[in-house]
Amino acid sequence: MSTPDRAEGNDVSTLERTVAVLGAGTMGTGIATVAVRAGHRAIIYDVDEANLSRGVESVRAFLDNGVRLGKLTPEQAQQASARIEASTDLNDLAPAEVVIEAIHEDLGAKQHLFGELDRIVGGQTLFHTNTSTLSVTAIASGSRRPERVVGTHYCNPAPLMKLVEVADGRHTAGWAHDATMEFLAGLGKTSVVTKDRPGFIVNRFLIPWENSCINALEAGLGSKESIDTAVTGALGHPMGPFALLDVVGLDIHQQVATRLYEQLRDPRFYPPPMVDRMVAAGDLGRKTGRGFYTYDDNRLFGS
């Protein structure tokens, strides 16, 4: 490569940029909220009109709530709200300098979108993927310029959680990594750098931890209450493993654990049989009113 790194680079740290977010689900709308709050223009893309309008509404609701809580002035919320756009047409993403992919965990769909966007956006546009269980390298291979693809894994809910895990693929260029770190700092996030390995850091350690707690419960080492009490009281975790699994959802835990197991072939990642039984019984956690515990209402934690 003859051009120096910085000349080829994409300075997205300070200026207001156009950010495209692919997918109007929980993570996509959360990330779009973060982007407009940081002063960027955000275009949310989704194939489904109804998803899209729900997504835009949820961004606005989050900003309004920020005003009620005194985190934003009404002017700031209004300006941020004005920076949010939505489209079902990929061609509308042409001005994007950063694309953040947050669609469902389907490798082929993610690869396809990046391949399509190659034709639409500029050559220096960063491609970020918010995948939690797929390989960044595999997703990047959908683009003819895999050097611009970086894994940026946000935590849910994205507007509240400061952590982003950054993972380069095999072909990620130094300029793309550096520009990504600057972009995330501009969003007010705390980035940690990890490798393109299944689960990155948080899920890499959380999944075996949760599985070991489920196995301990099944082995009679304690009750769900005593294990949750022991973990919060002795280790300072904000929630015990079973209260947390009920928030995450047993179906989600099963999916993430299974995907990590399929890649790592390490039995510590495989969801224990109790998880299958709970999913089969429809005891998915808070969202169904019953998981390890029963709930009078199905409000999600923190909402």
Partner 1 sequence: MADFERVAVLGFGTMGAGIAQVVAMSGREVTVLEAGQDRIEAGSAALAGFLDGGVARGKMTESERDETLARIRSTTEPKELDGCDLVIEAVSERFEVKRELFGAVAAVIGDDALIVTNTSALSVTALAASVPGPGRFAGLHFFNPAPLMRVVEVVRALQTEPEVIERLTEFVVALGKEPVVVKDRPGFLVNYLLMPYLNDVVTELDNELASAEDIDTALRLGLGYKLGPLELLDLIGLDVHEHATQSAYDATLDPRFAPPPLLRQMVAAGYHGDKNGMGFRNRQDGTR
Catalytically active residues are: 132, 153, 165, 203
- Selected from 209, 264, 290, 295, the binder of partner 1 by CB under 8 A is 209
| Smallest separation, CB 182 to partner 1 (Å) | 17
The three-state secondary structure class of 139 is helix
| 26: contact with partner 1 by CB under 8 A | no
- Find all residues with CB under 8 Å of 248, minimum gap 6, and list them: 285
DSSP conformation letters of the chain:
--S-HHHH----SSS--EEEEE--SHHHHHHHHHHHHTT-EEEEE-S-HHHHHHHHHHHHHHHHHHHHTTSS-HHHHHHHHHTEEEES-GGGGTT-SEEEE---S-HHHHHHHHHHHHHHS-TT-EEEE--SSS-HHHHHTTSS-GGGEEEEEEPSSTTT--EEEEEE-TT--HHHHHHHHHHHHHTTPEEEEE-S-TTTTHHHHHHHHHHHHHHHHHTTSS-HHHHHHHHHHHH--SS-HHHHHHHH-HHHHHHHHHHHHHHH--GGGSPPHHHHHHHHTT--BGGGTBSSSB-SS-PPTT-
| Smallest separation, CB 194 to partner 1 (Å) | 4
One character per residue 38-67, x = contact with partner 1 (rule: CB under 8 A): ------------------------------
Stretch that binds partner 1, among 45-53, 208-216, 255-263, 272-280 (CB under 8 A): 208-216
Stretch that binds partner 1, among 2-10, 49-57, 135-143, 189-197 (CB under 8 A): 189-197
- Selected from 53, 65, 212, 294, the binder of partner 1 by CB under 8 A is 212
Query: How far, in Å, CA of 84 to CA of 35, rounded?
Result: 9
Stretch that binds partner 1, among 84-92, 178-186, 207-215, 287-295 (CB under 8 A): 207-215
- Selected from 65, 73, 91, 226, the binder of partner 1 by CB under 8 A is 226
Tokens standing for residue 21: 């977010």
| 213: contact with partner 1 by CB under 8 A | yes
Residues in region 258-287 near partner 1 by CB under 8 A: 268
Nearer to partner 1, 45 or 292 (CB): 292
- Selected from 4, 70, 123, 238, the binder of partner 1 by CB under 8 A is 238
Nearer to partner 1, 107 or 201 (CB): 201
The closest of 148, 63, 145 to 99, measured between CA atoms, is 148
Nearer to partner 1, 50 or 235 (CB): 235
- Selected from 221, 281, 294, 300, the binder of partner 1 by CB under 8 A is 221
| 204: contact with partner 1 by CB under 8 A | yes
Number of residues counted as binding partner 1 (CB under 8 A): 38
Interface residues toward partner 1, by CB under 8 A: 155, 161-163, 165, 190, 192-195, 197, 200-202, 204-206, 208-209, 212-213, 216, 220-222, 226-227, 229-231, 233-239, 268
